[in-house]
Amino acid sequence: MSAPTLPSMPAATAFDRRALADFRSLAGRIDGNGPRYTSYPTADRFDAEVDDARYLAALDACRADSPAPLSLYLHIPFCENICYYCGCNKIITKDHARSARYVDYLAREMAMVAGRLGERRAVMQSHWGGGTPTFLDPDEMRRVMAALTQHFHLLPGGEHAIEIDPRRVTDARMALLAELGFNRISLGVQDFDPEVQAAIHRVQSYEETRDVVLAARRLGFRSVSMDLIYGLPHQTTERFAATIDRVLTLRPDRLSVYSYAHLPHVFKPQRRIDEATLPPAGEKLDILVSTIEHLTAAGYVYIGMDHFALPDDDLAIAQQAGRLQRNFQGYATHAGHDQLGFGVSAIGAVAGHYVQNARTTDEYYAALDEGRLPVARGFGMSADDHLRKAIIGALMCHGTLDIAAVEAGHGIDFARTFAPELAGLDALATEGLLRRDASRIDITPLGRLLVRRVAMVFDRYLRQDAGREVPLVRYSRVV
């Protein structure tokens, strides 16, 4: 069978070049460390006060509230090899006996949670992340999906995604993923440059990636996403542009271009990276600007922060329809769903509570053996947290905030409630990041590139940290 034709390139839509020029000059002054706001409050605020009892109460509230569709996240922590840049919770092993046991416990956790929810709830979004979910062998994948579909109804029109390692996936495995109901795949690429790949201990050829993309197109997957990272060892503007050129020949529906956060004091594998080979701040900034120019000129919509999508992809459509949201996987297509997390370190968001499972398999297994949900920590949100989450989400997903709607929805006087924050916004407005009046806040094209910095103004916990002189080094850099 001949290879399918990749999608043709739509008309070019260049990003605001003046904003990019202003960004170059401003980034050095306004840069710093800050959260990515995949949640608010952020995960570093979680504590042990939220335990399995609090989670059970949240599940009861979810059951009583409404039968709205759910989102699910499954964490598969296993990888055969270590990537030096990676900050994920992972287990490096080639022993599939470990994954077989893990699958058994995943099924037990699903049964406990589903039993508390009562009826077999519909699922609009599901995502298998890791680690490397495709570490599981075909039988293990079937067992996990059987447990999922026994306890939950995965809606055929929903988005069901899995992260895959192109080096470990055959045509037969791709066919299995389609058979199991996945309709979106996310491929880790990072960079196609051989010297960069060697430095991060992840050697992956263009041909391996191409073959997976072609298989996905042939099998009818709705969306193919790729992850790239800039700021890695030996990268330059020219070399990363060459990677982008090769990516564009494959025409993925979505692209995530993440900034490498070098935090060797937090992530031990990063200690194997020679800091002297990392691009300096100015070069890293040039890589980002060049990449935005390159991708938007090639027809991609700049969704925000580090995400791009083709105009007909669900992510771009969701943004246009006002349905875009932030969750622990970044930008997502459906707003307002409770999210259940399964597996070690998985995070859920249920009935105003964040819950995170134990980080080690020993703790995870022990809790389930004792008949407890394996919750290690979490956070119970206050009314103020919900208010600020809504504001940050609107700014990061849609670039605008309707102040009157916020006042009506939350019963507040915005100017009185956020007097210190408005002063902070005015400083950013002077830099050209936003425009505001009494009725609305609008992020400018320049501000979209630094939207994390705008969102930080509304983070009450960062304000408290500043008063106690708590450093922000636990976060990645804004640029």
Domain harbouring 395, CATH code? 1.10.10.920
Domain assignment present for 362? no
Q: What average pLDDT score do residues 47-75 get?
A: 92
pLDDT band at 13 (very low <50, low <70, confident <90, very high): very low
Residue 305 — φ and ψ, nearest 5°? 50, -100
Is 80 exceeded by the pLDDT of residue 477? no
Is 90 exceeded by the pLDDT of residue 172? yes
User: How many other C-beta atoms lie within 10 A of the C-beta of residue 3?
Assistant: 11
CA distance 122 to 100: 27
CA distance 3 to 73: 33
CATH number (domain holding residue 180): 3.80.30.20
Both 392 and 296 in a single domain? no
Range of the domain at 302: 39-341
Domain assignment present for 2? no
Distances in Å between the Cα of 96 and the Cα atoms of 78, 99, 100, 176, 283 are 9, 5, 6, 19, 42
Task: Tokens for 393, please give them.
Answer: 């989400």
What is the average pLDDT score of the chain? 91
Is 60 exceeded by the pLDDT of residue 320? yes
Is 70 exceeded by the pLDDT of residue 40? yes
Site of tokens 């991708």: 295
Both 199 and 329 in a single domain? yes
Both 185 and 89 in a single domain? yes
- 359 compared with 4, residue with greater pLDDT: 359
User: How many other C-beta atoms lie within 10 A of the C-beta of residue 44?
Assistant: 9
Both 289 and 398 in a single domain? no
Domain count, the chain: 2
pLDDT band at 30 (very low <50, low <70, confident <90, very high): confident
- 14 compared with 278, residue with greater pLDDT: 278
In a 10 Å sphere around its CB, with 0-12 CB exposed, 13-18 middle and 19+ buried, how is residue 369 labelled? exposed
SS3 content of the chain, % helix, strand, coil (to 5): 45, 20, 35
Is 90 exceeded by the pLDDT of residue 24? no
Domain assignment present for 6? no
CA distance 133 to 203: 19
Can you give the pLDDT at residue 29?
A: 76
Is 70 exceeded by the pLDDT of residue 12? no
75 in Cβ contact with 130 (< 8 Å): yes
Both 390 and 450 in a single domain? yes
CA distance 92 to 94: 7
Both 186 and 260 in a single domain? yes
CA distance 7 to 223: 12
Task: Tokens for 325, please give them.
Answer: 């949201």
pLDDT digits (tens, 9 = 90+) for 93-114: 999 899 999 999 999 999 999 9
Point out the domain boundary residue: 307, 341, 375: 341
330 three-class SS: strand
Both 80 and 218 in a single domain? yes
Both 275 and 137 in a single domain? yes
Q: What average pLDDT score do residues 68-74 get?
A: 94
CA distance 300 to 74: 29
Q: Which residues contact 432 (CB under 8 A, 6 or more apart)?
A: 22, 26, 444, 446, 447
Both 212 and 285 in a single domain? yes
Task: Tokens for 183, please give them.
Answer: 């309709």
Both 162 and 87 in a single domain? yes
150 in Cβ contact with 189 (< 8 Å): no
Both 234 and 131 in a single domain? yes
Both 306 and 407 in a single domain? no
Can you give the pLDDT at residue 57?
A: 96
pLDDT digits (tens, 9 = 90+) for 249-262: 999 999 999 999 89
The pairing of beta strand 375-380 with beta strand 353-357: antiparallel
Domain assignment present for 68? yes
Can you give the pLDDT at residue 472?
A: 63
Asked which of 65-69, 123-127, 234-238 is least confident by mean pLDDT, the reply is: 65-69
Domain assignment present for 374? no
pLDDT band at 34 (very low <50, low <70, confident <90, very high): confident
Q: What average pLDDT score do residues 453-466 get?
A: 92
Can you give the pLDDT at residue 4?
A: 40
For the range 86-94, what are the long-range contacts, defined as Cβ-Cβ under 8 Å and sequence gap of 24 or more?
86/267, 86/269, 87/261, 87/263, 87/266, 87/267, 87/270, 88/130, 88/131, 89/131, 89/344, 89/345, 89/359, 90/130, 90/131, 91/131, 91/361
Q: What average pLDDT score do residues 456-473 get?
A: 81
Point out the domain boundary residue: 290, 319, 341: 341
Domain assignment present for 71? yes
Can you give the pLDDT at residue 56?
A: 96
Domain assignment present for 412? yes
Backbone torsion region of residue 389, taken as left when φ is above 0, otherwise alpha when ψ lies between -120 and 50, otherwise beta: alpha
Domain assignment present for 477? no
Point out the domain boundary residue: 321, 341, 361: 341
CA distance 152 to 109: 13
pLDDT band at 246 (very low <50, low <70, confident <90, very high): very high
Is 90 exceeded by the pLDDT of residue 213? yes
